[in-house]
A and B are shown apart, each in its own frame.
Chain A
């Protein structure tokens, strides 16, 4: 056996190109369905875990899937907003803890999420370095964002413009990194968190600017000054950074209850409270909907698995065609090696041993392919979790 294996090994080494092509055929045929399986499995694990850890979400009426994904993965622009007053409504009668989510902007291409400190308690997130945000203008980075941007507490990042061509639109705001969160291996790792008010400042609902009371009456930026009411033109310098020196100048125009948020995470104390809460939103005339992410995601996954069956059928067909190709290669190889086999037989080698030689060669090729495949699968396994989360969070 040892001698035959040696011969098989020498044959495979001698015919490097042929062997590599066969190995590549096997690996490539197997890797795609395995990678898809792994990704779908990871996707299922991640999305189900995330959904099950989020009892209920409340948001604008429309697609409950969009609402769920927007709340769990902070997708921007996929759902209509609801007024902040809905948070108080959800909290009414202490039925549930209501955590606002404002997910409309990005910072350096990472989702920028306005929320309250309750969110961190709810998700079990704690800072690895620094602290959670303590004032407007602060931000807390998910671990992946901090690693990707190479920033930490005390550094500054800047929010993205929602439309670079609209110079009169929302202005970017410099944010001070207050802390970096521990890795949670959830979408929260990929997010820049700010206080809800900071998100509204970025949205242009609040701002800070130079002190107009100190302007002289002939200042070109003043339009009128009447009994303490000062009207200025657009020449007023607005702050793009919130600092201890200018924080007092920041203020909001309008009623905060009307300010927009994208959704609310509702954590009811028990099933009864949750049912009562759901009942409030079940009215056909309500402009707000209540959704259970676990239910929504299960429906989504059943659809994903149905689609996945097509991939499975495709993979089986590819595997069959590759197997036939391998058989063809072996048969052609046998024909080319007829004299070699005949010589071995004449020398005293049995037909069975010659067959073992062939099996040994294919065994080596399959063995090497299996090792490479295992390494590839291991590599995919290592990155699949992050890739799936990154895809879920960043596929804005």
Chain B
């Protein structure tokens, strides 16, 4: 479950200010966030994952107060509790697919790497149709395959929340639906909460709920955007 209360965030040396009175995403819910560029969709994902911290307000993920954590605690929380998928896949070019999937275990010592993780990785890759391509580098994979590797990387730590920033933005229509189906299947199978930022309105029917940043009332103070209280102040169930 994701709970946000009275959140205010501003990037340094920027007029942009995100003000979010309240937002709640229930556990296992599939939420799409849409809106024009620059309205703060990616910033919201960064706030939920603890990459940035709000100037004020609260961000709770599965009961954990992300906004109140230290830097290192937020990193540990992020790598264990959040699975992140990016538009550009962001695979490491010098690693093969298997090493990319296992990347979280290489870069954070709080995660324990053992044979079961390796087995999980192989099973996950198999499920994603990557079984024969694990030894290939990112450049040797198609875009759809690269995004599948990125999804495996997001899922390998068994996070409770998956945050995807335009995961289909770089994919052709066939791959777009294939990838979305895979994300939905995995999220459903593991009971994971899914928050996807997208510009693609065609994929919205697959989500439980869509939050449209554009439809919310925007406060006009120095470019400040704010989600209106009538739509976003719904109480968490």
Those of B57-72 within 8 Å (CB) of chain A? 71-72
Please state if B95 and A347 are interface contacts (CB–CB under 8 Å): no
Count of B interface residues, CB-CB < 8 Å: 28
State A343–B105 Cα separation when bound (angstroms): 14
Contact of A347 (CB < 8 Å), options: B72, B78, B88, B113:
B78
Selecting from A4-12, A28-36, A93-101, A173-181, the interface stretch reads A4-12
CA distance A267 to B92 in the complex (A): 75
Q: Given A340-B92, A343-B90, is A3 in contact with B84 using a C-beta cutoff of 8 Å? A: no
Which of B86, B93, B95, B108 has a CB less than 8 Å from the CB of A349?
B108
Residues of B with C-beta under 8 A to A302: none
Report if A347-B76 is in contact (Cβ < 8 Å); known contacts: A14-B93, A15-B94, A353-B108.
no
Q: Is A303 an interface residue (CB 8 A)?
A: no
A-side residues, CB < 8 A to B, are 1, 3-4, 6-7, 10-11, 13-15, 339-340, 343-350, 353
Distance in angstroms between the alpha carbons of A243 and B3 in the assembled complex: 112
User: Is B75 engaged at the interface, CB distance under 8 Å to the other chain?
Assistant: yes
A-B contact count (CB 8 A): 64
- Interface presence of B106 (CB below 8 A): yes
Binding site for A on B (CB under 8 A): 49, 51, 71-72, 75-76, 78-80, 82, 84, 86, 88, 90, 92-95, 99, 103-109, 113, 153
Shortest beta-carbon distance, A356 to chain B, in Å?
10
Residue of chain A at shortest CB distance from B83? A347
Q: List 21 A-B contacts (CB under 8 A).
A: A3-B107, A7-B92, A7-B95, A14-B93, A15-B94, A339-B90, A340-B90, A340-B93, A344-B103, A344-B107, A346-B84, A346-B86, A347-B103, A347-B107, A348-B78, A348-B82, A348-B104, A348-B108, A349-B107, A350-B71, A350-B108
Interfacial chain B residues near A3, Cβ < 8 Å: 105-107, 109, 113
Residues of B within 8 A of A349 (CB): 75, 79, 107-108
Contact for A6 among B88, B93, B104, B106, CB less than 8 A: B106
Known contacts A10-B99, A11-B94, A347-B84; A4/B51 CB under 8 A: no
> A346 to B109, alpha carbons, bound, how many Å?
15
- B-side contacts of A6, CB under 8 Å: 106
Partner of A348, one of B95, B107, B113: B107
